[in-house]
Chains A and B, each alone.
Chain A
Amino acid sequence: MTPAAAPVLLRTRDLVKDYHADGGVVRAVRGVNLEVDAGEFVAIMGPSGSGKSTLLHVIGGLQPPTSGQLWLAGQRADRLPAAAWAVLRRRRIGIVFQAANLLSSMTVADNIELPALLAGATARQARARREELLDELGLAAKARTAPARLSGGEQQKVGLARALVNKPSLLLADEPTGNLDSTSTTEVLKLLRHAHADGQAIILVTHDARVAGHANRIVNLFDGMICDDAPVALPRARRADEAGPLTPLRWS
């Protein structure tokens, strides 16, 4: 568990998001109360259509909530104008969604450095940070490549690097390992864990058990509501005769 002293980074109260589609109303998020402290690593899980991605979009300010309240770092955020959100996202929140949305006219390197430059980093600082991130993701050789020439998985990793370039206090990620093979998943996990170890909070939506295993808290959504929210604890010490995660090789 996070120490009690950790400040609350994100708080939602009765957060609701409706979509209007085909003359009907889809209630994607139906009253979510969530508090995330600085430095937490939270995985949001749940079936398709349970509202995970919508919740992440609303938390990241990409869609306004239908009702309810949202605070980020003590600041009321659910009624912020788009320009204020843009500043918030540049300074405090890194976002990476399933579609990386890289700028096609720029190289991989420029895509990653741009948010750093916009936030006031010098060219040298931006370059150093970009090199560090691409190294960790095994993409150093692709710095001068155009995004269109990357695989889907590589684009996703570049999107993650871009989201982390300003060391945001909160990273929001939607299925960050969704299109990745095992090796890339390992690289992405390593990067996420470094960010977490540096004190950055992470909220990510995932179906991937490997990713969830590294979270220190898992929130389950069902029909737009939280149905379970619990810290991930180590299993109690196993007795020799008891099945643990290693069931198939249990001694008889």
Chain B
Amino acid sequence: MRQHLLALLAKEPAHGYELKLALEQTFGAAYPSPNIGQIYVTLKRLEADGLVRGEDVAQDSRPNKKVYELTPAGRDAVAAWVDEPAEGPRVRDDFFIKLVLAPRAGLADRMELINRQRRRYYAQLRALADLQDATDSRDTSARLFIEGQYLHLQADLDWLERCQEELV
């Protein structure tokens, strides 16, 4: 979450609750909603690391709020994050290791492992379908995010099928 908050602050200074709202409004229900406490803790750590600077702003009839802005070091950090291509979702697949090693040791049957894993993906598909129903189709970021999840799951299912064809 560090980088995500830095990237939001690169646009303009904000306080913690504004950051939470910005994430929710941009990504919709597709984004696991961050807990406000997590955001405050992360901001404190970023401040300790010298990446953001917080300034108390007085409010009428309310406690002061702390508005954060990027420091030059924070700006460098977010630029480095932006420039770095992200890893694919599966660098090392735990299921595949299981599929190869467990039957060798007589711990499991390959077909059972594949079916169990497939059912998990189906359940995730269902959750995604529900998420899609709850998401406004005009919300481009959320829609693309969901579509990406579908494509990942599609690839996972196709690949399970390949494993089944070759190993079972």
Interface residues of A (CB under 8 A from B): 45-47, 182, 186, 207-210, 212-214, 218, 220, 222, 227-228, 230, 232-235, 240, 244-252
Contact = CB atoms under 8 A, between A and B. Distances in A.
A218 B32 CA distance: 27
B134 to A, nearest CB: 13
Given A214-B129, A220-B118, A245-B153, A232 B34 contact: no
B25 interface: no
B128 to A, nearest CB: 5
Looking at chain B's contact residues, is the secondary structure mostly helix, strand, loop, or mixed? Answer: helix
A230 B119 contact: yes
Given A47-B161, A249-B31, A249-B32, A234 B122 contact: no
Contacts of A209: 125, 150-151, 153-154, 157
Given A213-B128, A246-B32, A251-B32, A228 B157 contact: no
Interface string B132-154: 00000100000001011111111
A49 to B, nearest CB: 9
B111 interface: yes
A177 to B, nearest CB: 12
A182 B111 CA distance: 32
A178 to B, nearest CB: 14
A78 B77 CA distance: 69
A46 B168 CA distance: 13
A234 B127 contact: yes
B154 A246 contact: no
B64 interface: no
Contacts of A210: 125, 129, 150, 154
B125 A213 contact: yes
A223 to B, nearest CB: 9
A232 B123 contact: yes
Contacts of A248: 86, 89, 148, 152
Interface string B26-37: 010011101100
A106 to B, nearest CB: 34
B158 interface: yes
The listed residue with most A CB atoms (<10 A of its CB), out of B115, B131, B137, is B115
Contact of A227 (B115, B126, B131): B115
B168 to A, nearest CB: 7
A213 B125 CA distance: 5
A234 B32 contact: no
B60 interface: no
Contact of B154 (A208, A214, A249, A250): A208
A6 B124 CA distance: 27
Contact of A246 (B34, B149, B151): B149
